[in-house]
Amino acid sequence: MDNSFSAPHYDDTEPLIVHVPALEHHSTPQHRHHFETEEQQREAGSFGMWLFLLTEIMFFGGMFFAYLLYRNWYYPAFAAASNQLSVPLGAINTAILITSGFAMALGVYYAEIRDRKKLVFALVLTTVFGLAFLGVKYFEYKEKYELHHIPGDKFSVAMFVNPHAYELTKDEPPLAPDMAEKTQVFFFLYFAMTGMHALHMIIGLGLLVWLIARARRGDFSTGYVAPIENFGLYWHFVDIVWIFLFPLLYLINRHPLK
């Protein structure tokens, strides 16, 4: 670079830049004006969704971190409390959710082949299985409520201190009162994690209703599949969170260390 460079005295009332004629523009209704091409728009949307899911992973990550920490600290309490979760209900819910994810994947496929009726059917199926999941979850939560296993003022450790007095826990070893208190930490994390997961499902179901309405109108049967595709990513993410929650909360360490 020439060190003696000085700014030219130049009266710039006009801007300057090399330019080319405007690139080809599509004029489909979904095409937003600030994207050069529809392809660019679709890529941007999908990339944005993946990034959003990354933030979701970090969000849930905090709770998984807390779970792993306290599981190590309070192993016996976590084992005893985990035994109070119903594996059959959890397994049924896992199956329901995976089926719902399959229906969603079908939906993306039907949108891509521009089949309006089958797309609507697949989305409705996704919604029905999503609702079924929440229904099962309701009965699980209700049982916890009846057993006073919801963290807070009414939480009771009686079942863990004196398990033989209860039909449900008659084969369980008793916990020291100190350790039994820690079952509340387990249940807090259980409700926080599954509750946050359920909240994501409820938001997803709301979006599904909106997508079904638009799909019925034929919005996604003309080759414009981005919203379906991106919602599919979200829905599968919610599935995957459950795929981690189910083994961590229901399946592992059901038996105290000998």
Partner 1 sequence: MSAATIVTLPDQATATVPKKNYITSEHGLLSWLLTADHKRIAMLYMISITFFFFIGGAFAGLIRLELLTPQSDLVAADTYNKFFTMHGIVMVFLFLVPSVPATLGNFLIPIMIGAKDLAFPKINLLSWYLYMIGGTLTLSALVLGGVDTGWTFTTPLSTHYLNTHVITAALAIFIAGFSSIFTGLNFIVTLHRMRCPGMTWFRMPLFCWSNYAASLLMVLGTPVLAIAIVLVFLERVFGVGVFDPAKGGDPLLFQHLFWFYSHPAVYIMILPGMGVISEVISTFSRKRVFGYTAVAFSSVAIALFGFFVWEHHMFIMGVSNYSALVFSLLTMLVAVPSAIKIFNWAFTLQKGSITFETPMLYAFGFMGLFTIGGLTGVFLGVLGMDIHLTETYFIVAHFHFVMVGGMLMAFLSGVHFWWPKMTGRMYPESLSKLAAVVTFIGFILTFMPQFILGYLGMPRRYAAYPPEFQVLNVFSTAGATILGVGYMLPMLYLAWSLKYGAVAGNNPWQATGLEWQIQSPPLTENFVETPIMDHEAYDYEWLEKQQTEGAKYIG
Q: Is 55 in the site for partner 1 (CB under 8 A)?
A: yes
Let me know the angle formed at the C-alpha of 91 by 58 and 64, rounded to the nearest 5 degrees: 20
Round to whole Å and give the CA distance between 105 and 195: 25
Which amino acid would we find at residue 95?
A: A
Q: Is 52 in the site for partner 1 (CB under 8 A)?
A: yes
Q: Is 256 in the site for partner 1 (CB under 8 A)?
A: no
Which range, of 79-87, 140-148, 150-158, 217-225, touches partner 1 by CB under 8 A?
A: 150-158
Candidate list 59, 138, 145, 166; residue touching partner 1; CB under 8 A: 59
Contact yes or no for 240/233 (Cβ under 8 A): no
Q: Is 72 in the site for partner 1 (CB under 8 A)?
A: no
Candidate list 31, 44, 144, 240; residue touching partner 1; CB under 8 A: 44
Q: Is 29 in the site for partner 1 (CB under 8 A)?
A: no
Contacts of 81 (CB under 8 A, 6+ apart): 149, 160, 183, 186, 187, 190
Number of residues that bind partner 1 (CB under 8 A): 61
Contact yes or no for 201/93 (Cβ under 8 A): no
Q: Is 24 in the site for partner 1 (CB under 8 A)?
A: no
Closest CA to 231 of 104, 124, 128, 93: 104
Contact yes or no for 235/184 (Cβ under 8 A): no
Q: Is 23 in the site for partner 1 (CB under 8 A)?
A: yes
Summarize as ranges the residues that interact with partner 1 (CB under 8 A). Answer: 1, 3-23, 32-36, 40, 43-44, 47-48, 51-52, 54-56, 58-63, 65-66, 69-70, 73-74, 151-153, 155, 181-182, 184-185, 188-189, 192, 196
